[in-house]
Chains A and B, each alone.
Chain A
Amino acid sequence: MSANKESWGSRVGLILAMAGNAVGLGNFLRFPVQAVQNGGGAFIIPYLVCFLVMGIPLLWIEWSMGRFGGRFGNHSTPYIVDTMGKHRLWKYIGVFGIWTNIAVAAYYCYIESWTLSYVVHSVLGTFNGMDQEGVAAFFNTYVSIGESTLGIPLEAIVFYVLCLLLNTWILSKGLAGGVERVAKIGMPLLIVFGMFLAYKGFTITAGEAGAINDSSVGLNFLWTPDYTQLWSPTVWLAAAGQIFFTLSVGMGTIHCYASYVRSKDDIALSAMSAGWMNEFVEVVLGASILIPISIGYLGIDRVTELVQSGGLGLAFKTLPFLFTQWGEVLGAIAGVMWFGLLFFAGITSSLAMGTPWMGFMQDEFNWSRKSAAWSFGLIVLLLGMPTVLFFHYGVFDEYDYWAGTVSLVVFALCESILFAWIFGIDKGWREIISGSDIKVPNIYKFIIKYVTPLLLLFVFIGALITPKANDWGAALSGNWELDDSSIIKKLMNSGLHRQIAEATDPAVIAQLQDTLFYVNASRILLVVVFLSIAGLVYIAYKKRVREGKI
């Protein structure tokens, strides 16, 4: 008998936990940057189209797969997909749904620990009196581990371990008593903090408190539509990618959460509610904070330069400086709210990442909830330490690329084919509408069968063979040279090899060669973890055979 006796406390709690799982740092840091880089206001058109034809169908697929698997006592993807596909290989494809979470949690908890640390620093007034370079240098010092900014030895590691301990402790309290309780507190607070910061983002006046632009300049920069971009495949791929990552689909967490829902209870409306809640946080709150505030104080040129390195830099190297312009008290409050908001966005997602592993160990090996939770914490600690210690050698980025990006697309593509073509769209459709509290439009039967898998295939192929400089026009006219960011070139380390060949300074060459070593080592580590989980799935399979369950 499985030791797994988990249950959700309430439907609202489940929806908040699902929304919390989807709402992450990317809602505030990735979406506005993607919008700015891909057509401004026009980006919202492909973005919402992709939400309707890929996001919502994937949410319904994953919720119904999870609920279906839960009926047979399966609470993690290896045996959830095994109940739907007859071929024995499916359960090994399901390994992605545990592996991804462990690998992503390993580096995600590190970012989460930065937000926790920055809340403390905002309260202590560390950033008061610093200029922007000072705040940026502070971040670089923080992640280089060697020097402490608080007087605590190995400060970044201490906060990382604290953050992991907090995650593990909450997970050990179970779904209703831990995960759901955090979502019920964290999500409303996140929205309140977000609304306060969005209000500030909308009310910046040039000449006041050091601002050089009105809010309208930043909002114009973000929302002015460039409709010519709508014809670019790059923009559509970026929109599809953003929808994909913002909803946390292809990870296995939604399956796990939904596996505790009984078959007579609704999933269609709950999935819509959680999905649109995520969109509200991303489009309404996420778009109103980072870019308008940054442009209000730094101007368009400087922000255009800063967004090239992504939203993380703006969030940790720039905003703390901008908040200090509002005075010591309001600056501290804004800092606590901004990093508190990011912390809640992060922890509600990282908690979800622990549940598939816990569900698997409880189902297959009768582990208690506490043992499963603490084993997750230990594995994440061991796998995460290289990202903390060798942050400057690209280990963090490797985890993010393979586990946090490629793996999601691969798994989502596989599950959409399994659901619509192998399990069968008729059976799948019955699963979606069973117990539904809304009328699901019949057009989605067609979309789930044809449009969603095809779109996912395009996203995957687009990532696999990305043309140089994302120039699809040149590529389609015959000159298809691969970009260094394509999966194939990434696999070959082409970018790093080219940098080594072009470098002349021996110190730079040595640094790049070290980076190459750590990049390859982290890939090997990730493969070992994947194979280990696959080994556990095999042992579980043998155990099931011995016990006469198969």
Chain B
Amino acid sequence: MNTSALVIMLTTMFTVTALTVYFFWRVLNAPPKPEPDSYLDNDDEPGRQEHI
């Protein structure tokens, strides 16, 4: 590949992949919100129950 094409391609692909992984990682590591939240799967998780 010629240098300018290679530079553009690698910079773009690396940046887009890194940002995709970063934001998904942030989602996976976001602190849990107390119940009731929008999602069914964690309805019964003891740590998420809101204490009134």
Which residues of A approach B to under 8 Å, CB–CB? 7-15, 40-42, 44, 48, 176, 216, 219-220, 222-225, 260-262, 264-266, 269-270, 272-273, 276-277, 279-280, 283-284, 287, 435, 437-438
Q: Return the contact of A265 from the options B12, B33, B41 (Cβ within 8 A).
A: B33
Q: Return the contact of A219 from the options B1, B30, B38, B40 (Cβ within 8 A).
A: B1
Q: Which of B1-34 contact A (CB under 8 A)?
A: 1-2, 4-6, 8-9, 12-13, 16-17, 19-20, 23-24, 26-28, 30-31, 33
Q: Given A269-B26, A280-B20 in contact, is the A41-B8 Cβ separation under 8 Å? A: yes
Chain B interface, DSSP helix/strand/loop, else mixed: helix
Which residues of B approach A to under 8 Å, CB–CB? 1-2, 4-6, 8-9, 12-13, 16-17, 19-20, 23-24, 26-28, 30-31, 33, 36-42
> Do B38 and A41 touch (CB < 8 A)?
no
Query: Ordered nearest first, which 3 A-B pairs have the shortest CB separation?
Result: A41-B8, A223-B5, A280-B20
Contacts of B23 in A (CB 8 A): 269, 272-273, 276
Q: Return the contact of A10 from the options B24, B26, B42 (Cβ within 8 A).
A: B42
Nearest-neighbor residue (CB-CB) of A44 within chain B:
B12
Q: How far is the CA of A180 from the CA of B13 in the complex (A)?
A: 28
Q: How far is the CA of A223 from the CA of B9 in the complex (A)?
A: 6
Min CB distance B50 to A, Å, is 10
> Do B41 and A283 touch (CB < 8 A)?
no
Q: Return the contact of A283 from the options B12, B26, B40 (Cβ within 8 A).
A: B12
> Do B30 and A273 touch (CB < 8 A)?
no
Contacts of A220 in B (CB 8 A): 1-2, 5
Q: Given A219-B5, A220-B5, A223-B9 in contact, is the A261-B38 Cβ separation under 8 Å? A: yes
Contacts of A9 in B (CB 8 A): 39-41
Q: Given A9-B41, A260-B38, A265-B33 in contact, is the A225-B8 Cβ separation under 8 Å? A: yes
Q: How far is the CA of A216 from the CA of B1 in the complex (A)?
A: 5
Q: Given A219-B5, A220-B2, A225-B4 in contact, is the A273-B38 Cβ separation under 8 Å? A: no
Contacts of A273 in B (CB 8 A): 20, 23-24, 26-27
